[in-house]
Amino acid sequence: MQIPATFLTVRIPDFEAAIRKAVDARLASRPVVVITAFKQLGRVVAACPLARAHGVREEMHFPTARLCCPDAAFHLPDKRLAEQAMRTLLRGAGKYSPLVEPAGGGRMVLD
């Protein structure tokens, strides 16, 4: 009997905001929002559950997000931090699967 191929996709919601909270203990109890720019046209790319509870959503303009959640910690994306976090996650997943592939944006596929 042949065993069918099985794949598992793992996705970390709002990856950029999640890693900010993971690396900075001061942000543990604060809403965290990652935006493209600190300007009128800056947009939200990730928001933790606390920020979402205040109405912050992806693609929302920065000024609107700040009005919804004035106590949030706003950050720009940090490519280096995201890559480092993803490498750590991939190493951990490699303990459970012989084949682990990054799928971008806090996602990976395990075979």
**Which amino acid, residue 93?**
A
Contact 33, 51 (CB under 8 A): yes
**What is the pTM for the complete model shown?**
0.85
pLDDT of residue 105: 84
pLDDT confidence of 51, banded at 50, 70, 90? very high
Q: Quick one: CA dihedral 49, 35, 74, 17, positive or negative?
A: positive
pLDDT in tens, 85-109: 999 999 998 888 888 988 888 899 9
* The two structure tokens encoding residue 108: 């990976």
pLDDT in tens, 11-41: 999 999 999 999 999 999 999 999 999 998 9
pLDDT confidence of 84, banded at 50, 70, 90? very high
* The two structure tokens encoding residue 76: 């720009």
